[in-house]
Structure 1
Amino acid sequence: MAESALKKKENGRGTRATDAEETRFNILEVATAEFADKGLSGARIDEIAERTNSSKRMIYYYFGSKEGLYRAVLERAYTAVREVDADNRRDDLDPDAALRDVVGVTFDYHNQHPEFVRLVMNENILRGAHVGEVPGIRERNRKVIDQLRAILARGVASGHFREGVDPVELHMTISALCFYNVSNRYTFSFGFERDMSSPKALARRRMSVIDVIESWCRA
């Protein structure tokens, strides 16, 4: 085959692969919003296809079924939040500063990605029926706990933190406080007449959550 023809063929393959990846990405983007807003039962493949200028057949080609698409959305969401944890190495920070950074980053992520909170809420309504099929979720979670365990150990050694704080309990408490600010934002804002989405309210709440967690761990 002539060199120019070979290059065209290779470029054609590269273009098709790129187009396929972009199509898959767009489907996941739209599907994330649909599943976050309407849950697994309420979301419609027809609507997702229409918003992506794709087709039901194409979606089923990539993901197999509506449930397969939902699981792909879950995998993408959990991978993204754990990548944020993994990308923030804190070995050069004092233990108290490292812990405060963990809490602050977690709070910011939840606030900036309310779709993640809604996906988690929807999956809990389904009693975790699909999360167990997300590849590698337990391994990623273990890395988060290992990081907290290391921060706590350094803090105990330096006298910053008390002994006996369970890193899993710590992670659960951080997640709960950061999660609540998004999951209950509208009902809390109405019931207590306080706009929980304003920059001032978010900054105040962020600092409160950080202080609560640090105080709980402090020696």
Structure 2
Amino acid sequence: MPTRNPAPAGPARRERDPAATQDSLLAAAVAEFARAGFAGARVDEIAARAGVNKQLVYHYWGSKQGLYQVALASVYARIREKERQLSMAELGPIQAMEVLVGFSFDYLAEHPEFIAMLADENRNKGEHLRESGPLQEMHMPFVEMLQATLARGVAAGVFRDDYDAIDLYISIAGISYFFFSNNYTLSAIFGRQLGSRPALAQRRRHVIAFTLNALRPDAASPAKRAKPRKLST
């Protein structure tokens, strides 16, 4: 009796990797939320981008809102992690501030999804951020690092002594964020291609010089610099 050949083996069944699946879903979520915003994003589309069943979204995060909060936290966590790697404490205060401002500009240039998600969350009046304690906590180490750099600069006599670290951070972020978030309209208004490489390089130099000049001790307000007038007798 002839020997029967065994049936060919089917495709190997891949074992599930929950961590990899979550990473794929999170990357897909960031892309979709950046494209369509929280209101316009669809769980079906996120799952399709990740190549998984959409029920896994609810399994891991409970809801679209839960996934959005995690996605929002992830884009903040990435920039905070990169900032911690700048090793500002190992640099002189002026060089440290130059590195920070340059990094902030470059990061926004390379991560339009970060700008898009922040713009959408502001349209939502920050309601998802307010509900996320870890997001607030993750910013404190950076604020402390910036405060320490300011203090070193003041002690060395190269920075003015009346700047608050949070105010300074908002200014540093703002001068770069506005440039990128409004790049198309600014290009149209001024008739320049502000997204071109030469324009980006010029703007990068400007925001670094602008910040360092503002920090110089002789940049203090006229009222602060003015010596008290003697009263005539």
TM-score (norm 2): 0.84
CA distance in 1, matches of 2:90, 2:70: 35
Partner SS for 1:161: coil
Contact 1:95 1:151 in 2 (8 A): yes
**Count of aligned residue pairs for this structure pair:** 203
Instruction: Give 1 or 2 for the bigger CA radius of gyration.
Output: 2
Q: How is 1:22-101 mapped onto 2 (pairs within 5 angstroms)?
A: 22-101=20-99
Tell me the CA shift for residue 139 of structure 1. Answer: 2.1
Tell me the CA shift for residue 135 of structure 1. Answer: 4.0
Contact 1:30 1:52 in 2 (8 A): yes
Tell me the CA shift for residue 62 of structure 1. Answer: 1.4
Match of 2:213 in 1: 215
Question: Which residue, out of 156, 167, 170, partners 1:169?
Answer: 167
CA distance in 2, matches of 1:119, 1:84: 18
Tell me the CA shift for residue 90 of structure 1. Answer: 1.6
Match of 2:114 in 1: 116
The gaps in structure 1 that reach 5 residues or longer are 1-14
The gaps in structure 2 that reach 5 residues or longer are 1-14, 218-233
Q: Which has the higher contact order (CA 8 A, sep 6+)?
A: 1
Q: Which has more helix, going by share of residues?
A: 1
CA distance in 1, matches of 2:79, 2:133: 14
TM-score (norm 1): 0.89
What do you get for the CA RMSD once the two structures are aligned?
A: 1.2
CA distance in 2, matches of 1:72, 1:111: 23
Percent identity of equivalent pairs: 39
CA distance in 2, matches of 1:49, 1:138: 29
CA distance in 2, matches of 1:141, 1:124: 18
Tell me the CA shift for residue 192 of structure 1. Answer: 1.2
Partner SS for 1:130: helix
Match of 2:176 in 1: 178
Partner SS for 1:91: helix
Contact 1:74 1:134 in 2 (8 A): no
CA distance in 2, matches of 1:147, 1:189: 35
Moved more, 84-93 or 25-34: 84-93
